[in-house]
C-alpha cells in the first residue's frame, strides 16, 4: 500500500509569518481551512485537469481516452477542451461585466439623484471620460453629462448589432488587427449568451471557431465591462492617487472592533469607510469597551478602498479564513466573487458574523442583509452598529492577532503615472518611453491575479517581482498579486529601489516613482492595457500594443476571471505567462491555438511556466525580442544622468 504523504508544514504552504501563525492556530483549535481541505483534495481528476470531461449533455458525462477518442455524440477532445475553455472565459467575463453593469447603473442613479448618499466625486474624471466618447461637456450640468455617459455604458451591454463603442480607446492598429481576425465584440451580454449557446450540445464543434469566440468574449470584458467598471468607479469614488497604508493581518487591532469588507464591488465598502469615521459611531464603539473601530479589506474590495481611501489591507485571497482565526474580527461583510463558502463554518468557532449583502450571493450559515444603495449610509451604519454589538461576544482566550504588517504606497492610476512622469502641467508618458528606448528600463510587466493553494502563497509572485526589477523591468500590479508585494514590504519606494537594477532605479529616483506600481483591483487590469495604449500613443515604441516590450503574468491564478483576463491580454497582443496551466492538456490542437496560432494572429500568446526563474528567463527573452524588433537595442554608450538630463527627464 502506498505510504501517505506527510501534510505540508505551514512554512511550506505560505510565505508570510502572519499566515504561518494563523495556520498553526487553526490546527491547534481544530478549525479546517483551505490549507487542510487542499490536502484532502490532493488526488485531482486527470480528465478534469486535461479538460476532456464533457458533461454538457445528459448522455454523458463522457471522458476522452486513447481507447475512447470520442464522446457519445461524437465530440472529440479538441471540441470538448475548447468548449470547456470558452465556458470559463464566459464566466470570467460575466463576473467582471456584471460588476461593471452595477457601477454603470449606479452612475445613472446618482446622475438622476436617486442615490442621495453617493455623488459624482471626480468631475475631472467625468469630463475626461465623456470627452473620450465625444460627449459634449461645455455648458452642461455634470449630472446630464453623467447620465449620457451612463446610458452609453449601459448600451454597451445591450448592443445587438453594433460593435462596442469602448473599443475606440484601443490603438487604431490594434483595432484593425481585431477586425482582420474577426474578434471585435458586439454587446457584452450578447457575447456571454452566445458563448453559452455555442457550447450547448450540438452547436459549435470547430475548436478554432470556439476559441475565436473565447477571445472575442474576453475583449468584451477587458475593453468593455471591466474597463467601464474602472471608469465608473473613478467618477463615483475618485481617480486613485498615491496613498499610504499597511498590509497583512497585523492591521487588525485587538482593542478595536474589527470589521472586514471582502469581495469586489466598491459601493458598499466606500460607504462602510465613511460610516466608521462617523463621530456618533466612534462614540458608540467606546460604549462597548472598544478603543475604536478598524475597517480593513480583503481581496479586491481591499484594493478598491485602499486605492482611493488608504484603507488598510488585511490580506489576499488565501488569508480570508485566517483573518477570522485571529479571533478578533467582529464582522466580515462580503459581496461578490472570491468569497469562500467555508467562511460561516470557520466563523462558527469564533464570534465573527459573516454578512452577505448581494442578492446574487448568499451563503448558508451567513446573515443575509441586502445592501440598499438608495439608503446606503443608513444601510452601512446598521451593519457597523451590529458589528460593534458583537464585540462583547469575543472570547479573549481565542484572540491572537499576529503583529505583522508592512507599510505600502498604492494608488497608481494611469493619470497619476502620467503626472509623476511629466509633472502636473506636462503630464505625459514621454519620459517612460524615452527610458525604455534608451534601455534604462528594458520593458514593462503586468503581474496580476490570485493566490492558489497549488503554489506556496505569494512565493512565485514575489520571486518573479524581485528578479524582474533587478533586471530593470518596471512592474505594474493588480489584485492579490499586488497585495503579495505589499505584505512583503515591497510597495514602498525605498525598499523596492534597493533591489531595482541601476537603470530602473535611476529613472524611478529621478521622477519620484516606485518600481512596483499598485494599479488596483481585478477590473483594473484594464488600466495596465490603458498604460500600454498611452505608451503606443506617445510614440517611439511601435504603433500597435503587440510591439511594446510588455508581458503579462498570472503567477498564482485560480479564478475563471483570470482565464478571461489572460485572453484579453493575448487578444490585445500581449504575451501572457501562466504560473498554473489551463485545463487544456487533453488537446494538442487547442494548446497550439492558444500559444502559436494566437501569436501569429494577435502578436501575443500563452506560455505555461511553473517555475518563477524559468518565467524570468522567458519574460526577458520576450522583452528583448520586442526591443530588437523595434530596433532600440542598438548598443549605445552608457551615460550617467547629469543634472541637465535629470531636469529634462
Query: Of the candidates 231, 325, 469, 480, which one interacts with ligand MSK according to CB under 6 A?
Result: 480
Shortest reach from residue 218's CB to ligand MSK, in Å:
15
When the beta carbons of 555 and 586 are compared against ligand MSK, the nearer one is 555
Cα–Cα distance measured from residue 80 to residue 76, given in angstroms and rounded to the nearest whole number: 6
Asked whether the beta carbons of 486 and 506 are under 8 A apart, the reply is no
Closest to ligand MSK by CB, 449 vs 604, is 449
Q: How far apart are CA 80 and CA 101, in angstroms?
A: 31
- Smallest distance, ligand MSK to C-beta of residue 413, A: 17
- With residue 445 as reference, give the H or E element that holds it: strand 443-447
Whose Cβ is closer to ligand MSK: residue 398's or residue 456's? 456
| Chain residues 448-477 in contact with ligand MSK, contact rule CB under 6 A | 449-450
Output b/e per residue, 114-137; b: 16+ Cβ within 10 A: ebebbebbbeebbbbbbeeeebeb
Q: What is the DSSP secondary structure assignment for residue 8, as one 8-state letter?
A: P
Find the binding residues for ligand MSK in span 561-580 (CB under 6 A): 561
Q: How far is the CB of 315 from ligand MSK (least distance, A)?
A: 10
**Of 53 and 302, which has the nearer Cβ to ligand MSK?**
302
- List beta partners, residue 312: 296
The continuous run of DSSP H or E covering 466 comes out as helix 459-470
Total residues at the site for ligand MSK (CB under 6 A)? Answer: 13
Say how many C-beta atoms besides its own lie within 10 A of residue 366's C-beta. Answer: 21
Question: Out of 300, 414, 496, 620, which residue is the one contacting ligand MSK (CB under 6 A)?
Answer: 300
Q: Report how far apart, in Å, the C-alpha atoms of 593 and of each of 214, 316, 362, 625 are.
A: 12, 33, 38, 21
Least gap, CB of 561 to ligand MSK (angstroms): 5
Contact 387, 351 (CB under 8 A): no
Residue 298 Cβ vs ligand MSK, minimum distance, rounded to whole Å: 8
User: Which of 479, 542, 549, 566 is close enough to bind ligand MSK by CB under 6 A?
Assistant: 479
Cβ at position 559, least distance to ligand MSK in Å: 4
Beta carbon nearer to ligand MSK, 336 or 474: 336
**CB of 427 vs ligand MSK, minimal distance in Å:** 29
589 binds ligand MSK (CB under 6 A): no
Neighbour-count burial of 196, counting CB atoms closer than 10 A to its CB (0-12 exposed, 13-18 middle, 19+ buried): middle
Q: Which of 258, 521, 547, 580 binds ligand MSK (CB under 6 A)?
A: 521
SS3 54: strand
- CA dist 359 and 257 (Å) reads 27
217 close to 93: Cβ distance less than 8 angstroms: yes
Kindly tell me which of 220 and 229 has the beta carbon lying closer to ligand MSK: 229
Q: In the window 26-85, what residues touch ligand MSK (CB under 6 A)?
A: none
Distance CA 110, CA 117 (A): 9
Smallest gap from Cβ 123 to ligand MSK, in A, equals 28
Q: How far is it, in rounded angstroms, from Cα 296 to Cα 314?
A: 6
Q: Report, in Å, the least distance between residue 360 CB and ligand MSK.
A: 16
DSSP 335-382: -SSS--TTHHHHHTTSSPEEEE-BTTB--TTSEE----GGGHHHHHHH
How many alpha carbons fall within 13 Å on the CB side of residue 234? Answer: 28
**Interface mask toward ligand MSK for 259-288; x: CB under 6 A:** -----x------------------------
Nearer to ligand MSK, 239 or 580 (CB): 580
Residue 95 vs 513, nearer CB to ligand MSK? 95
Interface with ligand MSK in residues 383-422 (CB under 6 A): none
Residues in 326-365 at the binding interface with ligand MSK, rule: CB under 6 A: 338
299 is a contact residue toward ligand MSK (CB under 6 A): yes
Using CB under 6 A as the binding rule, the residues of this chain from 532 to 551 that contact ligand MSK are: none
What nine digits make up the cell of 462?
Answer: 514575489
Give the three cell numbers for residue 490. 515591497
- Residue 159 or 451: the one with the smaller Cβ distance to ligand MSK is 451
Tell the smallest beta-carbon distance from residue 577 to ligand MSK (Å).
Answer: 16
Q: Which three cell numbers stand for residue 648?
A: 529634462
Q: Which of 526, 552, 597 is nearest to 211 (CA)?
A: 597
Of 237 and 317, the one with the shorter C-beta distance to ligand MSK is: 317
* Residue with grid cell 474590495, as numbered in its chain: 301
Smallest distance from the beta carbon of 337 to ligand MSK, in angstroms? Answer: 6
Closest CA to 170 of 100, 219, 233: 219
The residues of the shown chain that bind ligand MSK, judged by CB under 6 A, are 264, 299-300, 317, 338, 449-450, 479-480, 521-522, 559, 561
Amino acid at each position: 500500500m502506498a505510504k501517505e504523504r506527510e501534510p505540508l508544514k505551514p512554512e511550506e504552504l505560505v510565505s508570510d509569518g502572519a499566515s504561518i501563525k494563523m495556520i498553526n492556530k487553526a490546527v491547534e483549535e481544530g478549525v479546517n481551512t483551505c490549507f487542510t481541505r487542499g490536502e484532502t483534495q490532493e488526488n485531482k481528476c486527470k480528465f478534469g485537469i486535461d479538460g476532456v470531461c464533457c458533461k454538457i449533455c445528459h448522455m454523458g458525462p463522457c471522458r476522452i481516452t486513447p481507447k475512447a477518442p470520442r464522446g457519445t455524440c461524437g465530440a472529440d477532445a479538441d471540441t470538448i477542451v475548447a468548449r470547456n475553455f470558452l465556458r470559463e472565459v464566459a464566466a470570467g467575463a460575466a463576473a467582471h461585466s456584471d460588476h461593471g453593469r452595477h457601477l454603470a447603473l449606479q452612475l445613472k442613479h446618482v446622475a438622476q439623484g436617486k442615490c442621495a448618499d453617493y455623488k459624482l466625486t471626480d468631475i475631472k474624471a467625468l469630463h475626461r471620460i465623456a470627452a473620450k466618447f465625444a460627449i459634449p461637456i461645455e455648458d452642461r450640468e455634470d449630472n446630464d453629462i453623467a447620465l449620457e455617459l451612463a446610458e452609453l455604458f449601459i448600451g454597451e451591454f445591450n448592443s445587438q448589432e453594433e460593435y462596442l463603442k469602448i473599443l475606440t480607446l484601443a490603438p487604431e492598429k490594434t483595432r484593425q488587427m481585431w477586425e482582420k481576425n474577426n474578434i471585435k465584440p458586439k454587446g457584452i451580454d450578447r457575447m456571454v449568451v452566445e458563448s453559452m449557446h455555442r457550447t450547448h450540445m450540438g452547436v459549435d464543434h470547430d475548436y478554432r471557431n470556439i476559441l475565436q469566440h473565447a477571445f472575442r468574449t474576453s475583449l468584451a470584458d477587458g475593453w468593455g465591462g471591466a474597463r467601464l467598471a474602472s471608469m465608473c468607479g473613478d467618477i463615483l469614488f475618485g481617480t486613485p492617487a498615491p496613498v499610504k497604508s499597511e498590509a497583512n493581518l497585523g492591521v487588525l487591532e485587538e482593542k478595536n472592533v474589527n470589521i472586514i469588507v471582502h469581495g469586489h464591488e466598491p459601493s458598499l465598502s466606500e460607504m462602510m469607510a465613511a460610516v466608521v469615521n462617523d463621530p456618533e459611531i466612534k462614540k458608540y464603539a467606546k460604549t462597548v469597551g472598544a478603543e475604536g473601530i478598524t475597517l480593513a479589506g480583503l481581496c479586491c474590495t481591499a484594493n478598491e478602498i485602499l486605492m482611493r481611501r488608504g484603507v488598510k489591507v488585511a490580506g489576499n485571497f488565501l488569508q480570508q479564513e485566517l483573518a477570522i482565526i485571529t479571533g478578533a474580527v467582529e464582522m466580515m461583510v462580503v459581496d461578490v466573487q472570491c468569497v469562500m463558502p467555508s467562511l460561516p463554518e470557520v466563523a462558527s468557532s469564533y464570534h465573527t458574523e459573516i454578512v452577505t449583502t448581494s442578492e446574487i450571493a448568499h451563503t448558508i450559515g451567513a446573515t443575509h442583509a441586502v445592501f440598499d444603495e438608495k439608503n446606503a449610509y443608513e444601510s452601512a451604519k446598521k451593519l457597523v452598529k451590529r458589528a460593534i454589538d458583537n464585540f462583547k461576544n469575543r472570547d479573549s482566550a481565542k484572540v491572537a492577532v499576529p503583529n505583522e504588517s508592512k507599510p505600502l504606497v498604492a494608488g497608481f492610476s494611469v493619470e497619476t503615472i502620467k503626472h509623476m512622469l511629466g509633472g502636473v502641467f506636462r503630464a505625459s508618458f514621454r519620459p517612460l518611453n524615452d527610458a525604455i528606448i534608451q534601455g534604462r528600463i528594458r520593458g514593462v510587466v503586468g503581474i496580476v491575479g490570485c493566490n492558489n493553494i497549488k503554489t506556496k502563497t505569494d512565493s512565485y509572485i514575489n520571486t518573479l517581482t524581485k528578479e524582474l526589477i533587478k533586471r530593470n523591468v518596471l512592474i505594474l500590479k493588480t489584485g492579490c498579486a499586488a497585495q503579495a508585494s505589499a505584505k512583503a514590504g515591497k510597495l514602498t519606494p525605498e525598499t523596492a529601489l534597493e533591489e531595482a537594477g541601476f537603470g530602473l532605479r535611476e529613472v524611478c529616483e529621478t521622477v519620484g516613482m516606485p518600481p512596483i506600481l499598485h494599479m488596483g483591483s481585478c477590473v483594473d487590469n484594464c488600466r495596465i492595457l490603458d498604460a500600454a495604449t498611452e505608451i503606443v500613443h506617445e510614440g517611439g515604441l511601435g504603433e500597435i500594443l503587440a510591439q511594446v516590450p510588455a508581458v503579462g503574468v498570472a503567477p498564482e491564478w485560480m479564478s475563471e476571471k483570470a482565464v478571461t483576463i489572460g485572453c484579453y491580454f493575448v487578444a490585445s497582443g500581449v504575451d501572457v505567462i501562466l504560473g498554473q496551466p489551463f485545463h487544456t492538456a487533453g488537446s494538442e490542437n487547442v494548446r497550439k491555438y492558444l500559444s502559436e496560432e494566437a501569436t501569429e494572429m494577435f502578436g501575443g500568446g500563452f506560455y505555461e511556466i511553473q517555475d518563477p526563474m524559468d518565467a524570468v528567463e522567458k519574460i526577458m527573452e520576450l522583452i528583448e525580442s520586442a526591443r530588437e524588433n523595434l530596433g532600440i537595442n542598438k548598443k549605445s554608450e552608457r551615460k550617467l544622468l547629469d543634472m541637465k538630463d535629470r531636469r529634462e527627464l
